[in-house]
Amino acid sequence: MIKSIRITAVLICFLALCLSAAAKPAAAKNVAAAGPHNYQSIAKGKLREVFTQFLCRRLGKERADVVVSRFKVSNNRPVASGKISIQLFQKNSTKLEGYVKLVAVVSVDGVVRNKVKLSGWVDVFESVVCAARNLKRKEILNADDVYLARRNISHGSAGYLTDIGKVPGLMAKHSIKADKSIKARMLEKSPVVNKGDLVTILAESSGLRITVPGKVLMKGFAGELVKVQNLMSKRKIYAKIVNPSTVTVDF
């Protein structure tokens, strides 16, 4: 009787060991099967960062000059595990200011897995030249008439002046209100001479210097050729403007 019990116990232990050994490969097989189905998601913050970096590169601006708001993401499905790379493309040919749409192509280990739609409102800031006071039409500007200020340049046409050093000496084409951002089309070069001005026509060659009185027949700028009349001979010639009172001719 005792011997039978011992044999039964041995058989039970043997069966338990066999079942345990058989279960381990099966469990390992289940884990291996689950591996290929692991997925990863791309955080919205990551996509926003990529979106902003793309804008900065294309616009040639610093990060502080580009502000993205109302950012939206669509079709951002999880992708398979692996090394993610994201490449952005502009959805249309419009400028990268105001409402902007981009497409993010998501690749995993070099294989394209998804296309995510990104959109947002983009404001671009820059230091531009502004009027320090009310400027009148045909008024010639000096250094005290303008200043630099950081302004949002996204909601107007291009052409804002950014180099304040080039403004003095230019003339306002029309009235400009104080604190208004100035565009290149609002200013023009100031003529050095105007039609009807009296000047001295100067001719020099090999130590010989001749001057005669002349009359300007057209508006002209420094260094340019302008049509003048020799008041002594009444002959009309072209002379180079030196200053408001002098023009020169080859002799």
The CATH number given to 125-189 is 3.90.1210.10
Ranges in the chain annotated CATH 3.90.1210.10: 125-189
Mean pLDDT value across the chain: 85
Q: 150-171, pLDDT tens digit by residue?
A: 999 887 777 899 999 999 989 9
Look at residues 126, 130, 131 and name the one whose alpha carbon lies nearest to residue 153: 126
Structure tokens at 72: 């939206």
Taking residues 107-131, what's their average pLDDT? 95
119 phi, psi to nearest 5 deg = -150, 155
Ranges in the chain annotated CATH 2.30.30.760: 198-249
Q: Which fold has domain 44-124?
A: Thiol Ester Dehydrase; Chain A (3.10.129)
Binned at pLDDT 50, 70 and 90, residue 35 comes out as very low
Look at residues 91, 85, 96 and name the one whose alpha carbon lies nearest to residue 117: 91
Name the pTM for this structure.
0.62
Q: 166-220, pLDDT tens digit by residue?
A: 999 899 999 999 999 999 999 998 888 999 999 999 998 888 899 999 999 999 9
State the DSSP H helix or E strand holding residue 170, giving kind and residue range, or none if neither.
strand 170-172
Could you tell me the CA-to-CA distances from 97 to 45, 46, 69, 125, 159 in Å, in that order? 20, 21, 12, 11, 15
Q: Which CATH number among 3.30.565.10, 3.90.1200.10, 2.30.30.760, 3.30.110.70 corresponds to the domain 198-249?
A: 2.30.30.760
Ranges in the chain annotated CATH 3.10.129.10: 44-124
Q: Kindly calculate the radius of gyration of the chain based on its CA atoms and give it in whole angstroms.
A: 39
Structure tokens at 195: 């039609």
* Residue 91 near residue 103, CB atoms below 8 Å: yes
Angular region, 59: left φ>0, alpha ψ -120 to 50, beta rest: alpha
Look at residues 98, 91, 92, 157 and name the one whose alpha carbon lies nearest to residue 124: 98
- The pLDDT score that the predictor gives to residue 205 is 83
Q: CB pairs under 8 A, 24+ apart, for 179-186? A: 179/130, 179/131, 179/149, 180/130, 180/131, 181/128, 181/129, 181/130, 181/149, 181/151, 181/153, 181/156, 182/128, 182/129, 182/130, 182/131, 182/146, 183/157, 183/159, 184/159, 184/160, 185/159
Strand partners, 87: 105
Taking residues 78-105, what's their average pLDDT? 90
